[in-house]
Structure 1
């Protein structure tokens, strides 16, 4: 089985008056429908820049763990130093849209520009084109075709299963690496599913153990994945980061768990 850490870097690309939008994202404490810049909301996102990113990178470095950092293009444009820091530690940089928004209502031309701009800014900052993509919320009917045409190797716009699989729509191999919202630090927010860092650790540990020990003997040829979704502004908080530390401590030395970037999983699947 594979264990995939995905760190979402969305800071600076959120829906807000600051970015020229007519509304602000209604999350965290920011439910006041402020007709203008919401300084509370923007500072929540900025926590990643000052605290969260470095805490996550430090833990991954200590455990020699490589992750996929799913980055919005506008976030990369505004904070090139963050992208360069992540890439310097040899993590994968994948694409998460130009803005932190869904694509389902985009026109073909709008989406083409979005994909190409995101791809280009990541290349300019790292010298490597991203090969993976994940749309916030819903993709459009044409997203996957546009990604394939743009040279992407995989996307994570799927929540239907625990196994990576090949898309049969194209003449050459293209991988689907499913994402997950349950093994995700977003469960700390609003829903109350995770309260302590240990809640996060125990839930993900249970998912790994089920696939590893309950299903491995009967499903040896599948590309089963547990995806751990992370956000520096969420898990990066001092009261939560210990849950990630517990998880990394627990999996250290377990040779049955293959920690891989999503690019690595896609390459394995395509070459199989």
Structure 2
């Protein structure tokens, strides 16, 4: 996989999004709870709970298991209520095993108009897998997810960061058309994988609630809200001054942003951007369709 330090340089392929917005904001809610490593599944303990206290691998970590359960029992519904309150389209990045274990949420998602981004069958580091293991996890998820959500799943991204083979394995699947494992840009870009034209819609590890736990951390949820609001305002100002249409991705997790105080940051951000006429809240499938149509017209074709 070759590195690209140039991208589009100073050029932006479009002035506004097809719906007239200067800034498109895509909120991605990561549904991972129940797909993480846990003792009942014979997989040991996971490390992404609410605290960093080291637990002997020979001892079951009931504390971390409880934090994940909070996300699926309480946190996801708090975020759902915010999504419904502000009537915003979002993307749910779903681990298939997590959805299997939460039938009420699976039923809500199936009945909703929100799009779904494949996030693995298990929530596990693909860089620790063999190629056969990573392929099997992808294929298992892509067998299960469309039936659970009642519609096609067209995009893929993995836990943390991809392996060197992740994009190749995703592009080999006939139902997938894009991945979101890149963090090297804000706008989508095209590449070629084994002769197939492939779209990359970048994700963000910065506009992401993982920053509550990764230094420098947010001392309060207000700092997260200020970060997101500041980014959206800057992108809008940038676009108004000729930089072209912008895309902002926000990553949320039910076990973290579903906590009451942290949910306030999500509420304040949604209230801010939902009231700005030149900012559009969109889902990822919409971005994919727009960029594909633009490329067909010779715009944004890279």
TM over 0.5: yes
The aligned residue for residue 176 of structure 1 is 200
Structure 2 stretches lacking a partner, 5+ long: 1-22, 295-302
Which of these residues, 164, 186, 197, is aligned with residue 188 of structure 2?
164
RMSD across aligned positions (CA):
1.9
Which of these residues, 23, 41, 56, is aligned with residue 79 of structure 2?
56
Matches within 5 A, 1:11-50: 11-25=33-47, 27-29=49-51, 30-50=53-73
Which of these residues, 131, 134, 138, is aligned with residue 157 of structure 2?
134
Say whether the 8 Å CA contact 2:100–2:106 is kept in structure 1: no
The aligned residue for residue 103 of structure 1 is 126
The aligned residue for residue 241 of structure 2 is 217
TM-score, normalising length: structure 2? 0.83
Deviations 1:80-123 (A, max 9, x none): 33222123222112111121122124333222211111111111
Say whether the 8 Å CA contact 2:49–2:68 is kept in structure 1: no
TM-score, normalising length: structure 1? 0.92
Range 140-149 or range 225-234, more displaced: 140-149
The 2-side partners of 1:55 and 1:22 are apart by 29
Structure 1 stretches lacking a partner, 5+ long: none
What is the count of residue pairs matched by the alignment? 270
Say whether the 8 Å CA contact 1:18–1:37 is kept in structure 2: no
SS at match of 2:30: strand
The 1-side partners of 2:48 and 2:227 are apart by 27
The aligned residue for residue 240 of structure 1 is 262
The aligned residue for residue 125 of structure 1 is 148
Matched, 1:70 2:93: yes
The 1-side partners of 2:84 and 2:292 are apart by 28
Range 157-166 or range 181-190, more displaced: 181-190
Q: In 2 relative to 1, CA 23–231 (structure 1 residues): closer, same or farther, beyond 3 Å?
A: closer
Deviations 1:175-198 (A, max 9, x none): 211111111111122536223222
Q: In 2 relative to 1, CA 173–258 (structure 1 residues): closer, same or farther, beyond 3 Å?
A: farther
SS at match of 2:126: coil
SS at match of 1:254: coil
Say whether the 8 Å CA contact 1:10–1:71 is kept in structure 2: yes
Say whether the 8 Å CA contact 2:181–2:203 is kept in structure 1: yes
The 2-side partners of 1:111 and 1:126 are apart by 22
Alpha-carbon deviation of 1:247?
A: 0.9
Matched, 1:87 2:102: no
Alpha-carbon deviation of 1:205?
A: 1.1
The aligned residue for residue 155 of structure 1 is 179
